[in-house]
Structure 1
């Protein structure tokens, strides 16, 4: 695993649409911390170009200068930068700016931008597992069915009412009440084939998220395996009850939930379709079936902060 030089330059991909703070103030703060430390840096803002394009530019610059690429944004922004970084041989850092920040919290990275930026100066690289669907990487989760619809509706509500967890929860309730048609899928999991009927297929790569909703696969998620979660078609009332159980960390106790760990899972609709909508780390994509979920052969060279005694910022809640 690559370890960058102590004076390696930083190339920061900053998404101004992430978080609730002023992006110009965030940029100024990041630049001030690096300047005070005497570290060369460049902040690339994603104003008029997609994050993926800015991320590709940052990776090219980092590879040419033996530098470090940093994603400043939510899990969706981090996903885009990870897909540019993975397999390129440059180290990767994170400045969490999103609503839930599962990736940052899992790896002890503070949501306070100044603390997280200073931590990058003293961090060391550790390999982190990445999931993939048909070769596209995801860091937290990937899903199809009801969950992508929840994400689409949540984004619409956030644009209207702001980026708050209460808004996300309310939008989920509204989506569930509207109803959703079950998926009919053909699945092949490590040689075993079966037909399933489910409201959603959720694949997790984040042990913190799995533990918070109370699934027994949490310990192995991100440690060589992924975790699949399926919801049996149920009434609206039962689905709301499942949401409550998940919020209370007791989803694994529900009879209408099936979960299992795996290394590779192939899925395609029982009725042929040209494309399937897939959500990855909060972003929506159209992908051609079959969908093959697996652990990426490339580990992510993540800059992780040193865990100091009594440092709450370095410990996931």
Structure 2
């Protein structure tokens, strides 16, 4: 005997992987309906529009049993901002270029396998993990729908907030009008390497204030960014702590040599790398924007507070 019918909202990013996975969303909807579920598929011409229609769907139907997002880490971030703190489970079909959070919770990256995994996960209790709540005077307009009940403008992320070299690459890439595809990130990466220099940061971790110079600084809940770079190899999604990753000032040559070690996670023991942990982390530096789950969150200073058990995930 199958599980009872569930009401499922499916938010689909038609531009995931630059439009290469457009067929995935309809296939997921069909698979869920074949299992007997009541499915509401949603799409929109742009990200903000998709946030609005998903928020309306969740608000108009308080008995929604799950929100499923189809896309990459940006879609995961959309989902996290809609359901964090609400108790509504988040399902993920990884159809983007990075898929770091999906990998972190053990969801297959093959879309067919992920769809079968999701259908089975709907019959299990969701996994409860931590999520990070971000505030700050320079915070970009928050995605609608966070479930904390706080009136203070805020946004949520599940993976990693970048506030150094990798964030600068994203910022530069977003300013480029051409090319339109993934190659613009390569162009931005090369340009930022040429201009690489340590930035001066003012940090506060659980009330302790200090200053550092660093070319690369991140605040992590998950282990990886950028499609598998193990930037915080010891981070856990349910330990109630953020892992702050700091690279000490180095030459460009040594910084480039560091990168392959980041992919394998073997950088953690190097003397030029420092990790700190805490529940609440404030990051400030001149002229830097923070990016989390691949999305621009706004100009520093930003404060990240981990909220244990804020997110339920279908795994």
Structure 1 length normalisation: TM-score? 0.79
Match of 2:193 in 1: 177
RMSD: 3.0
Contact 1:70 1:92 in 2 (8 A): yes
Match of 2:273 in 1: 257
CA offset at residue 32 of structure 1?
A: 2.0
Q: For 1:19, what is the secondary structure of its paired residue?
A: helix
Q: Tell me, in whole angstroms, the C-alpha distance in 2 between the residues paired with 1:26 and 1:149.
A: 31
Evaluate the alpha carbon distance shift between residue 280 and residue 219 of structure 1 in structure 2; reply closer, same or farther with a 3 A threshold: closer
Match of 1:223 in 2: 239
Give 1:20-39 correspondences, 5 Å limit: 22=20, 24-39=22-37
CA offset at residue 19 of structure 1?
A: 2.2
Contact 2:240 2:308 in 1 (8 A): no
Evaluate the alpha carbon distance shift between residue 24 and residue 268 of structure 1 in structure 2; reply closer, same or farther with a 3 A threshold: closer
Contact 1:217 1:261 in 2 (8 A): no
Give 1:184-199 correspondences, 5 Å limit: 184-199=200-215
Contact 1:153 1:172 in 2 (8 A): yes
Evaluate the alpha carbon distance shift between residue 20 and residue 45 of structure 1 in structure 2; reply closer, same or farther with a 3 A threshold: same
Gaps of 5+ in 2: 136-153
CA offset at residue 268 of structure 1?
A: 2.6
Q: Tell me, in whole angstroms, the C-alpha distance in 2 between the residues paired with 1:265 and 1:49.
A: 28
Evaluate the alpha carbon distance shift between residue 75 and residue 213 of structure 1 in structure 2; reply closer, same or farther with a 3 A threshold: closer
Gaps of 5+ in 1: 305-317
CA offset at residue 21 of structure 1?
A: 5.7
Selected match of 2:15 from 12, 17, 25:
17
Match of 1:45 in 2: 43
Match of 1:280 in 2: 292
Contact 1:140 1:206 in 2 (8 A): yes
Q: For 2:117, what is the secondary structure of its paired residue?
A: helix
Q: Tell me, in whole angstroms, the C-alpha distance in 2 between the residues paired with 1:233 and 1:223.
A: 29
Q: Tell me, in whole angstroms, the C-alpha distance in 2 between the residues paired with 1:75 and 1:222.
A: 19
Q: Tell me, in whole angstroms, the C-alpha distance in 2 between the residues paired with 1:44 and 1:214.
A: 33
Structure 2 length normalisation: TM-score? 0.80
Tell whether 2:310 aligns with 1:299: yes
Selected match of 2:170 from 151, 157, 162:
151
Contact 1:221 1:261 in 2 (8 A): no
Q: For 2:101, what is the secondary structure of its paired residue?
A: helix
